[in-house]
Structure 1
């Protein structure tokens, strides 16, 4: 059974996500639709790229991924269908593909050219669904577009290592649903530069000298449960499941007690530094 995933900034209030699913089922009875996220911040390409980049490879090869972010068709924002790492991605040429393909070269890219056959002011519903269903039936990219080589390139800030390798300066890459702050500093970079040295992570007025393997490793479970309630709200740094350094608060709740983002005063692109001794 073919799989089509959806990653959009549609939210849950409006009819958009439901209409897209209905249109897919109207074309393909035998299909599985998976919502990766509909809560991407509006038009936030970098946020969408982080989410889809860390989700798509959990799906089997051949999965078709619709990305509905900043997808209105304009002379400067054409539509693409791409084969990358054995998966298909349908998106606008707004720079998101360059972020997805930063480490893996696309196998094929086509600029979708079926718009003259479809009347639409909602391209994800009409154009992207048509392309996704075509690919899910085993259709080829050449049928729905012309091959291209050049795509819009979006330059994302990258961590900087100083010349004597005593410091990494990175940035806030993403803030998750719990308000945890994901940096763009990977475990691989941290270990290759740090080489086991002591370190201090600094971000605004907060600092860390230890990185945990997961959230619960920061808690001393040898202490009786009743006596460790004060550890709820403990600040910690972890290597998250995507391999990035993340600054968090244990069992935080952004809507009540606050989160790492609000309590540390950190937002997207804020600076996070690591100094090695």
Structure 2
């Protein structure tokens, strides 16, 4: 059965998500619709790309992904279908597509060109849904578009190696629902330069000297509860996407706070790993 996923910055209050789903189901009653997220920060291209890049491969090839972020049509924001790794991404030419395809060459890039399509502020409903349904039915991309070679390229932040290999300087690229901050420093890069050395992670005035593979890796269960680290303590780990992440154990951004608030860290802030 075909699958269409939805990723938007619409939130849950308004009618937009419901209208999209209802229209899809009216056209394809047997389709599976999967919500990836509707809580992307408004117009946050990098956040949208980070989420999609780390989730799309979990779906079967042939899945159609509607991207509802910064989608209003303009001469500088064309509507596209990009086929990557057997998946179809339907959205605007705002940089999300290039970030998703930064490590995998697109198989096809088509500019959507549907005659008599209504021009409106709700492109997700009036353009992306008909295109996604066409693809989900097995329709050819050439029917709904023409080849396109002007994909807007956005470069991801790249960590830098400094001090003759003694330091890795990265940036925060994503803040999750718990307030945990994800850097662009991958485990593979860290291991390539560590060479068995001790290290310290510096983020503003905070220093962390260990990286775990799980959140509760911070706890020494051989110690009694009063003596060991636990909720409220800062830690670093390699997250499930393979990046260095800074977290507060069992944090709650809506009450006690998370790493972003308690450590004073924001999107694009610098995080440095020094090898000792």
Same fold (TM over 0.5): yes
Q: Secondary structure at the match of 1:177?
A: coil
Cα deviation, residue 220, structure 1? 2.0
- Contact 1:202 1:273 (8 Å CA) reproduced: yes
How does 1:170-181 map onto structure 2 within 5 Å?
170-181=170-181
How does 1:217-236 map onto structure 2 within 5 Å?
217-224=217-224, 227=226, 231-236=230-235
Q: Secondary structure at the match of 2:164?
A: coil
Aligned to 2:22: 22
Cα deviation, residue 44, structure 1? 0.1
Cα deviation, residue 228, structure 1? 6.6
Cα deviation, residue 162, structure 1? 1.8
Pair 1:247 & 2:246 matched: yes
RMSD: 1.4
Residues in 2 aligned to 1:183 and 1:115: alpha-carbon distance in whole angstroms: 44
Cα deviation, residue 91, structure 1? 1.1
Aligned to 1:8: 8
Question: Deviations 1:203-250 (Å, cap 9, x if unpaired)?
Answer: 00111111000101111223455x478621111000000110000000
Alignment length (residue pairs): 276
- Contact 1:181 1:248 (8 Å CA) reproduced: yes
Cα deviation, residue 188, structure 1? 1.0
Cα deviation, residue 14, structure 1? 0.9
Aligned to 2:259: 260
Which of 76-85 and 149-158 deviates more? 149-158
Q: Which runs of 5+ in 2 are unaligned?
A: none
CA gap of 1:26–1:119, structure 2 versus 1, over 3 A, is farther
Pair 1:271 & 2:270 matched: yes
Pair 1:96 & 2:96 matched: yes
- Contact 2:174 2:183 (8 Å CA) reproduced: yes
CA gap of 1:228–1:27, structure 2 versus 1, over 3 A, is farther
Q: Post-superposition, which runs of at least 4 consecutive aligned residues in structure 1 deviate over 6 A?
A: none
Residues in 2 aligned to 1:30 and 1:198: alpha-carbon distance in whole angstroms: 55
Residues in 1 aligned to 2:227 and 2:137: alpha-carbon distance in whole angstroms: 55
Residues in 2 aligned to 1:66 and 1:18: alpha-carbon distance in whole angstroms: 14
Pair 1:162 & 2:162 matched: yes
Cα deviation, residue 163, structure 1? 5.8
Residues in 1 aligned to 2:270 and 2:217: alpha-carbon distance in whole angstroms: 26
Normalising by structure 1, what TM-score? 0.96
How does 1:1-277 map onto structure 2 within 5 Å?
1-114=1-114, 116-162=116-162, 164-224=164-224, 227=226, 231-277=230-276
Residues in 2 aligned to 1:248 and 1:176: alpha-carbon distance in whole angstroms: 10
Q: Secondary structure at the match of 2:245?
A: strand
Q: Which runs of 5+ in 1 are unaligned?
A: none
- Contact 2:220 2:229 (8 Å CA) reproduced: no
Residues in 1 aligned to 2:271 and 2:224: alpha-carbon distance in whole angstroms: 35
Residues in 2 aligned to 1:139 and 1:13: alpha-carbon distance in whole angstroms: 33
Cα deviation, residue 196, structure 1? 2.2
